[in-house]
Structure 1
Amino acid sequence: MILSVEWLYALFFNEDHRGNNYSELLINKAKEDTKDSGFKYLNLCTDHIGFYEQNGFKYIGQGYHPWEEESRIYQIEL
Structure 2
Amino acid sequence: MNMYQWIKLNEHPELMEETASWFSSKWGIPAVVYKESIRTGIIAKESIPQWYVVLDKNEAIVGGVGVIENDFHDRPDLAPNLCALYVEPEHRNQGLAKWILEQTRKEMHRLGFKQLYLITDHTSFYERYDWSFFTMVKEESGTTARLYQIATIN
Instruction: Report the TM-score, using the length of structure 2 for normalisation.
Output: 0.44
**Residues 61 and 74, structure 1, Cα contact 8 Å, conserved in 2:** yes
The unaligned stretches of length 5 or more in structure 1 are none
Q: Find 1:46's aligned residue among 120, 124, 128.
A: 120
In 1, distance between residues paired with 2:138 and 2:87? Answer: 24
Q: Does 1:62 align with 2:136?
A: yes
Does 1:35 pair with 2:109?
A: yes
Q: What is the RMSD of the two structures over their aligned residues, measured on CA atoms?
A: 2.0
Q: 1:4 to 1:36 in 2, by over 3 A?
A: farther
2:66 is aligned to: none
Higher gyration radius (CA): 2
Percentage of pairs with the same residue: 26
> Which structure shows the higher helix fraction?
2
Match for 1:12 among 76, 86, 90?
86
Structure 1 residue 5: Cα displacement = 3.6
Q: Please identify, of 67-76 and 12-21, the stretch whose mean Cα deviation from structure 2 is larger.
A: 12-21
Contact kept in structure 2, 1:4 and 1:39, CA below 8 Å: no
Task: Give TM-score scaled by structure 1 length.
Answer: 0.81
